[in-house]
Amino acid sequence: MQIQDLPYPDPGVPDARSGPRFLWWLFRNQLGGQLKSLAWGLLHFLSVSALPFCVGIAVQAVVDRSGRRLALAGGLLALCCAGQAIGDTFLHRTAVTNWITAAARVQQLLAHKAAQLGSALTRRVAAGEVVAVSTGDVEKIGWFVEAWSRFTAAAVTVVLVCVGLVVYDPALGAVVAVGLPVLALAVLPLLPRATRRADFQREKAGRATELASDTVAGLRVLRGIGGEELFLDRYRRASQEVRHAAVRSARMWALISAIQVLLPGLLMVAVVWYGVHLARQGRISVGELVTVYSSVMVLAYPLRHFEEIAMAYSFSRPSAKRAARVLSLERATDTVGSRAAEVPSGDLYDPATGLLAPSGRFTAVVCGDPDAAGRLAERLGGHPSEEGASVLLGGVPLDELPLDSARTAVLVQDKDPVLLSGSLRELLNVPASGDVDAAKALAAAQCADVLTALVQGSLGAEDPMDARITERGRSLSGGQRQRLALARSLLTDPVVLVLDEPTSAVDSHTEARIAESVRELRAGRTTVVFTSSPLLLDRADRVALVHENEVVAVGLHRELVHKDPRYRAVVTRETDEEAALHGVLEELDELEEIEETA
């Protein structure tokens, strides 16, 4: 896979059982690129490591006054320099390719998982963690996948040079062969502590990112209550904790780097001292001494990759663990589904609560617990919980359908829908049946004033469809955002539309017009609205009261208000005293009716 070929047609099915398993899966899926990087790395490192041998031959040729060997040494030096330049160029090219393609694969996997889980993702994983995984973590994962082939090339080079030195000069070569493994393994005792400090830093950074995301998302509300400074102080403290953790982690890695510089220097001193001693005894030549000395000096370059792979693994292991945790989340059933791809129609029925939404009717659901209403709306969208069997649409379990078919059949608009940045035309560019155009959807959602506000707030935009919407629609009021989201949902024209409190942020006059226009636009289509607003309930064909996860009353709004105290308590927000008074009045009315009958 080359960079120009991205994105992947199919990023594959990851092994998300653990962080190391996920890293190994990424490595196996990029084996071709890893082998290319290894080959170019070997050419580069071996060319660099061969330079001391060429220099030793040249020095000895000068000492022996041999022009032929000096010319040979010059030719070998030129060949090594060419191999070094070519190897370094293509090693960098393949390494960057491996890094970017690995990061892109992880990002595609995360995007597919987010699309598969939908709104359930942020209910199971904190939004800050999702952001951290999708941004910084993918780069760290790509770094380790890319660095592994370079480390392997450096390790093979070190082994080959040690063997070559032992063959070339057994006395000094043995010293180098013993000293280099000590250099490579000397930092291992420090790695667990460095890893723990790096993990702690990442944990603090993830919390700070989540806090910043929450603060920015709620900044408008915080300003309204004068609480922005409080939350900004919290973020300042969190960022300082991240800074302190980063400094402690950097100190440990600085110590590891210092050891990587100190120990090769000590080995070089030992080699020079012992080599001079052997040269004075006549046991080695000057050229051999220069060769061994230069080899030890040059080997410091591939040895740095031992430190890099340790750092890369330390930084990528917690990142891979977080990514694997997100990727291991599954829909309650297989995305592919066990039934053929079809879009069923008919009554919508939830066996867990007994809720029935007849086909082609406007059904309102009243639920005293907003959280329970959100969970029930999610169930109606084909995400069954542990409470019971899947929701049935026309007798077909939604969790047995392929994900695309289930979402085509049932669309759920959350209580807090998200508006993506871009133009209004881009916002409304969604899969739709084609029976409802954008003008009808916007009119039904009573968006006339929203369009005017968008045009006034966008420079140079005469057509409201070209007006820009800021990130998450922050420049709009809560009611305006709600109405645009409702228009988007109406435009899709699904078989079943489930709306969770779609008018909670609009005024009563607008709410009444929305209730009437949505009823007209959705005529003949199944619509389920979770609400406690009398204006919406009064226009519903059927109202169901859900109490303690069970449908306890069904009827029309005006009937239920008079007959069911629990329904009346939720809809009218009456207190216990008012409910008791209402009950006394009903009893008096019944007594009067009995007396009149008698």
The CA-to-CA distance between both ends of the chain, in Å, stands at: 91
Place of tokens 């690995």: 102
Residue from 526, 528, 551, 553 nearest 351 by CA: 551
Per-residue pLDDT, 380? 87
Cα 126 to Cα 120, 122, 132, 452, 511, distances in angstroms: 11, 6, 10, 36, 33
Closest of 410, 400, 407 to residue 333, by C-alpha:
400
Which amino acid appears at position 97 of this protein?
Answer: T
Q: How far apart are CA 443 and CA 483, in angstroms?
A: 10
Q: Are 567 and 581 in contact (CB under 8 A)?
A: no
pLDDT tens digits for range 1-25: 678 888 888 888 999 889 899 999 9
Maximal C-alpha separation, the chain: 140
Q: Which one is predicted more confidently, 385 or 338?
A: 385
pLDDT at 227: 56
413/119 Cα distance (integer angstroms): 10
pLDDT for the residue numbered 384? 62
d(C-alpha 415, C-alpha 498), whole Å: 11
pLDDT in tens, 151-205: 999 889 888 888 888 887 787 778 888 887 777 777 778 877 887 887 787 777 7
Q: Which two tokens stand for residue 399?
A: 């969790």
| Percent residues over pLDDT 90 in the chain | 27
The rounded percent of the chain whose pLDDT value lies above 70 is 85
pLDDT at residue 128, rounded to an integer: 61
Which of 121-135, 427-441, 558-572 is predicted least confidently? Answer: 121-135
Name the residue among 377, 147, 364, 577 with its Cα closest to residue 565: 577
Q: With 80 as the cut, is the pLDDT of residue 83 above it?
A: yes
Average pLDDT of the segment spanning 554-566: 90
Chain segment 461-506, per-residue pLDDT in tens: 678 888 888 776 777 888 889 999 999 999 999 999 999 999 988 8
Angle at 131 between CA 105 and CA 429, to 5 degrees: 75
Neighbours of 583 (CB within 10 A): 11
Q: Name the helix (H) or strand (E) containing 171.
A: helix 170-185
Residue 366 has pLDDT above 60, yes or no: yes
Rounded mean pLDDT, 129-142: 79
What is the structure's pLDDT at 213? 63
Residue closest to 180 by CA, chosen among 270, 81, 90: 270
Residue scoring higher pLDDT (232 or 551): 551
CB atoms within 10 A of CB 280: 9
Tokens of 410: 């049932």
Q: Is the pLDDT of residue 338 over 70?
A: no
Domains of the chain: 12-327 (1.20.1560.10), 348-418+477-563 (3.40.50.300)
Please report the pLDDT score of residue 126 as a whole number: 64
User: Is the model's pLDDT at 556 over the cut of 90?
Assistant: yes
User: Residue 439 class from Cβ within 10 Å (0-12 exposed, 13-18 middle, 19+ buried)?
Assistant: exposed
Residue closest to 470 by CA, chosen among 488, 458, 487, 483? 458
Query: Which residue, among 440, 352, 334, has the nearest Cα to 392 in the 3D structure?
Result: 352
For residue 65, what is the enclosing H or E element?
A: none
Tens digits of per-residue pLDDT, 23-66? Answer: 999 999 989 999 999 999 999 998 988 888 888 888 888 888 88
Q: Which of 358, 349, 373, 368 is nearest to 502 (CA)?
A: 373
Q: Please tell me the predicted confidence (pLDDT) of residue 35.
A: 93
**Strands 526-530 vs 362-367: parallel, antiparallel or unpaired:** parallel
Please write the tens of the pLDDT for every residue from 396-434. 888 788 777 887 889 998 888 888 888 888 989 888 888
- Do you find a cis peptide bond into 181, omega within 30 degrees of 0? no
pLDDT of residue 582: 53
Q: Is the pLDDT score of 573 beyond 90?
A: no
| Mean pLDDT of all residues belonging to the chain | 82
Which pLDDT band, with edges at 50, 70 and 90, does 340 fall under? low
Q: In the structure encoding, which two tokens stand for residue 559, read together?
A: 């009937």
Q: At 390, list the tokens.
A: 């899947």
142-151, 454-463, 531-540: the lowest-pLDDT one: 454-463
Over residues 510-548, the pLDDT tens digits come to 999 999 999 999 999 999 999 999 999 999 999 999 998
pLDDT band of 239, cuts 50, 70, 90: confident
d(CA 449, CA 510): 11
- Is the pLDDT reported for residue 551 higher than 90? yes
461 vs 22: CA distance, rounded Å: 48
Using CA atoms, how far residue 194 sits from 102, 183, 264, in Å, is 25, 18, 21
